[in-house]
Amino acid sequence: MFDTLEILSVSQLTNQIKQALEDNFSQISVVGEISNFKSHVSGHWYFNLKDNNAVISCAMWKGFNNYVFFTPQDGMKVIVNGKITVYPPRGSYQIDVRSMKPAGVGELQAAFELLKQKLSAEGLFDEKYKKAIPILPKKIGIVTAIDGAAFQDMISVAKRRFPLVELVIAPSKVQGSGAAETIVKSIKLLNEQKDIDVIIVGRGGGSIEDLWAFNEEIVAREIFRSRIPIVTGIGHEIDFTIADFVADLRAPTPSAAMELTTPNQEDFYSFIQNFSNNSTQNLIDLCELYDDKIKNILNSYGFRTPIDLTRRYSQQVDNLTYRLFQNIDKKLLRDKNKLSLLVKEIESNDIQRLLKKGLALVRQDSKFVTRAANYTVGKETTIKFYDGDVILKSQDYNQ
């Protein structure tokens, strides 16, 4: 029997199986539940697709999975389109997936609830982590699509309510493949700025598929990590996303998000007008109130007693001061009289005045002769008169 069969190598057999499978299963659609999902660093996805009775390996290359609007999760039921391929080195076959979609809305809702439970258990929704929204922001960062109506609505609301605020847009895709990644990138970019006060993450309404980027785990975790408070305004009032639960504040619409983050300029005008109208009367009332209080205090016994004491001691100080100056004046007068007497006495003993009266001074050997007994006859003598000196020399005596 074996003699009549062609003997094949393993490679030949595998190639024949590969050709048979790939020729007969070049276009297939398969529904099943994802298990063992892995996203490789290369960007490729590897997972199994299973039902109650069988399992098959699947691979989806980066160029194709970029078009999937959601991140697959284990347990999610999906429909994949692709072809059967054989991997000769292992002799295994797999589905080469070209496209993927949820098997129904229920699958997305189930994935939503599963992620919600997971993040809630980690505490990402806890109130204690919610940051306060500033009352008077100077700069508001916006993460949305710049070609969407939601962006224009937010601009209109900002101009109407608080035209002084500066809007800083970080453009982002808000639906479809890659949207979650661009939302994360825009939030990071705004967090790198030093002067952004609050961030609005928003988009207009749509189906659960349209809003799914805001249900992605990477978006939720980036919102939680943001150092800047984040307000979400996604879809309509009835729409809730995972991002809404993580955000510091959830608004029902993008316009409402801008309403919640900006003060109303009309409130400022009203406050200024009311303040202008009431401030004068308020000041008058306050002045009258404190005037009465001050008068009551001044007229009280407790306040009068210190004043009376102060006045009495002040009067005593005045009396003492008067007496002090009076005594000083008397002493000065006495000293002045004494000084006058001394001056007169000095003047009366003035040599020039004595000489003027006819007296003279006799001097010998440069000394004044004050006694007759001290006078030496024949010695040179100087006689000082008022109007000049007379010198008697020794020869004068001989004459």
Interval 256-270 mean pLDDT: 89
**Tell me, what's the pLDDT at 152?**
94
Is the pLDDT confidence value at 396 over 80? no
Residue 360 pLDDT level (bands cut at 50, 70, 90): confident
Pairing relationship of beta strands 198-203 and 230-234 according to DSSP bridges: parallel
Interval 179-185 mean pLDDT: 94
Report the DSSP beta bridge partners of residue 105.
none
**Tell me, what's the pLDDT at 304?**
63
Query: Where do the domains of the chain lie?
Result: 7-103, 127-266, 352-398
Which pTM value belongs to this model?
0.58
Residue 397 pLDDT level (bands cut at 50, 70, 90): low
pLDDT, one tens digit per residue, over 287-298 is 888 888 887 777
Residues 6+ apart with CB under 8 A from 247: 201, 223, 230, 231, 232
Pairing relationship of beta strands 198-203 and 139-144 according to DSSP bridges: parallel
CATH code of the domain occupying 127-266: 3.40.50.10550
CB atoms within 10 A of CB 198: 26
Six token digits for residue 240: 């809730």
Is the pLDDT confidence value at 399 over 60? no
Interval 296-318 mean pLDDT: 74
Residue 365 pLDDT level (bands cut at 50, 70, 90): confident
Q: Selecting from 1.10.599.10, 2.40.50.140, 3.40.50.720, 3.40.50.2300, what CATH number does the domain 7-103 have?
A: 2.40.50.140
SS3 percent helix, strand, coil of the chain, rounded to 5, is: 50, 20, 30
**Tell me, what's the pLDDT at 98?**
92
pLDDT, one tens digit per residue, over 199-257 is 999 999 888 888 999 999 999 999 999 999 999 999 888 889 999 999 999 999 999 99
Is the pLDDT confidence value at 2 over 60? no
- Please give the residue that has the higher pLDDT: either 12 or 138: 138
Percent of the chain with pLDDT over 70: 95
Scanning the structure block, which residue is given the tokens 């297939």? 28
Q: Are 82 and 95 in contact (CB under 8 A)?
A: yes
**Tell me, what's the pLDDT at 71?**
83
pLDDT, one tens digit per residue, over 77-127 is 889 999 999 888 888 889 999 998 888 777 888 888 888 999 999 999 999
**Tell me, what's the pLDDT at 394?**
64
- Please give the residue that has the higher pLDDT: either 219 or 344: 219
**Tell me, what's the pLDDT at 3?**
58
